[in-house]
Amino acid sequence: MHVNGKVALVTGGAQGIGRAFVQALLGKGAKVALLDRNPEAGQQSKAALDEQFEAQRTVFIQCDVTDTEQLKGAFKKVIEHFGRLDIVVNNAGVNNEKDWESTIQINLTSVIRGTYLGLEYMRKGNGGDGGVIINISSLAEYIEATGIAQNTKFNSCN
């Protein structure tokens, strides 16, 4: 996928797989908004990435993806900052069986909201240029000690 000059938004972008996605996108020439609910991790990731890439190519936005207004506001900030949105990576995820309702809000509901927001902002009929939405889910809770178990689904919008 050609991403040079494209703008990406990555939820859960300050750590783990999200951070790796951010780094890969930057390495291919994209501009990236890192969304994460952890402000310390977000600021540390932004600072580390700024040492490796041009600082103006990244922005950190603190965002709890379970808060609808924060998520909408984060998408709006990306558009205001970079002027466009081409790629959405719904990556934020947790596994907390003691707080299963929060797990559903983060792992399912926020992915659906992020997908609809991405469609809204990237739709050609709404001023966008089309784009790509990548929803990441993990099978790690079902597979023990087998290494990385990722299931990535690609959705495109026009």
Q: Tell me, yes or no, whether 1 lies in a domain.
A: no
Count of domains for the chain: 1
Q: What is the pTM of this model?
A: 0.86
> Which pLDDT score is estimated for 13?
96
Residue 9 tokens, joined = 């938004």
Contact present, 77 and 61 (Cβ < 8 Å): yes
> Which pLDDT score is estimated for 146?
46
Q: Tell me, yes or no, whether 2 lies in a domain.
A: no
Q: Tell me, yes or no, whether 53 lies in a domain.
A: yes
Q: Tell me, yes or no, whether 122 lies in a domain.
A: yes
Which of the pair, 29 or 127, is modelled with greater confidence?
A: 29
| 154 has pLDDT over 90 | no
Contact present, 127 and 84 (Cβ < 8 Å): no
Which residues span the domain enclosing 97? 7-157
Which of the pair, 61 or 154, is modelled with greater confidence?
A: 61
- Whole-Å CA distances, 116 to 15, 78, 155: 24, 15, 11
DSSP conformation class of 125? G
CATH, residue 57 = 3.40.50.720
Residue 125 tokens, joined = 């009929």
> Which pLDDT score is estimated for 150?
47
> Which pLDDT score is estimated for 98?
87
> Which pLDDT score is estimated for 99?
87
CA distance 75 to 110: 13
